[in-house]
Amino acid sequence: MKSDVYYFTGTGNSLAVAKDIAKKIEGDLIFIPYALGNGIIKTDAKVVVIIFPVYMWGIPLIIERFIKNFEDLNDKYVYAIATHGGMPGVAINILEKVIESCKGKLSAGFTINMPGNYVPKYGAFPEEKQKKLFDKCGEKVKVIAEYIKTNKQGKKENNNILVNLLFSNLIYNHSAKNIAKMDKNFWVDEKCNKCGICQKICPVCNIDMNSGNPIWNNKCEQCLACLQWCPQEAIQYGKKTPTRKRYHHPNANISDILNQAKK
Ligand SMILES: Cc1cc2nc3c(=O)[nH]c(=O)nc-3n(C[C@H](O)[C@H](O)[C@H](O)COP(=O)(O)O)c2cc1C
Ligand code: SF4
Ligand code: SF4
């Protein structure tokens, strides 16, 4: 059965999962910002897999736009995988509601615990801890791939109902409104050599260069790709990031992230 594997990523965790799933189910790998750049999304694939990071216990804003731009989800098996840093909150639940509002049905939704990348709150996890998470991830991806290949349905991995209510109503709904403008907290320190990589790496073209200095334009997804991949570690967010260790998935490199926007 023809399968499309759509993904969004900032630091490579969701990319690593997407590559592994695409290989195992023999699906086509498609970067969501690229698919969105072509307008309405049409596909004759019967299976659609959507892989993305959890943001603020919910889904990245771009995932909602992506689903709303799909021509017809109604006759497809739709699977979701949310990678997260330990608290997936209501990501699958929120995604399911968006899919249903577009007359689709979520066949199953999974969460995978990966190293967190939210450097405004913490630096990169120790390598040993990362390795344990990658090992577990590998095992879980095998199970999910089998589930998708056999078109099984029903599994929805969410936190319990009380946690859902708290995170969805109080926290996610409040945070989601502010995400695009949270880039006001980025700033650049003296290490910046004006290479322009941050501008090229932003998946939603939110960065312009002004006399060689990056400026952010308030349509941010908060993926942190600009900050995490700056070769000089010159991009900071708020007060605490100058001393925090940067993170990206060990199998992702800067060319993977730069080139995905072209395919
Ligand atoms: C803006 C932002 C918000 C995040 N919020 C959460 C969260 O609520 N819960 C969680 O477990 N991880 C959270 N994370 C961590 C990511 O979900 C996790 O590291 C993910 O695997 C990163 O995927 P990527 O490497 O494909 O970008 C957040 C990360 C970012 C950048
Ligand atoms: S990637 Fe880093 S060093 Fe290069 S222009 Fe952007 S902030 Fe400056
Ligand atoms: S400005 Fe930075 S954090 Fe915002 S979407 Fe672009 S790369 Fe991601």
What is the percent of the chain with per-residue pLDDT over 90, rounded to a whole number? 86
Atom of ligand 1 nearest to the CA of 16: 26
Beta-carbon count within 10 A of 239 CB: 9
Average pLDDT, the chain: 94
What domains can be seen in the chain, in order of their start residue? 3-174 (3.40.50.360), 179-262 (3.30.70.20)
Q: What is the pLDDT of residue 1?
A: 86
Q: What is the pLDDT of residue 202?
A: 97
Q: What is the pLDDT of residue 77?
A: 97
- What are the tens digits of pLDDT across the range 90-123? 899 999 999 999 999 999 999 999 999 999 999 9
**Is the CB of 87 within 6 Å of ligand 1?**
yes
Higher pLDDT, 260 or 202: 202
- What are the tens digits of pLDDT across the range 134-188? 999 999 999 999 999 999 999 999 767 677 777 666 778 888 889 999 999 999 9
- What are the tens digits of pLDDT across the range 40-63? 999 999 999 999 999 998 999 999
Q: What is the pLDDT of residue 38?
A: 80
Q: What is the pLDDT of residue 29?
A: 97
d(CA 242, CA 253): 22
**Looking at the CA of 229, which ligand is closest?**
2
Mutate to test the pocket of ligand 1, among 7, 117, 186, 202 (most ligand atoms within 8 A of CB): 117
Q: What is the pLDDT of residue 263?
A: 52
Q: What is the pLDDT of residue 243?
A: 97
**Is the CB of 8 within 6 Å of ligand 3?**
no
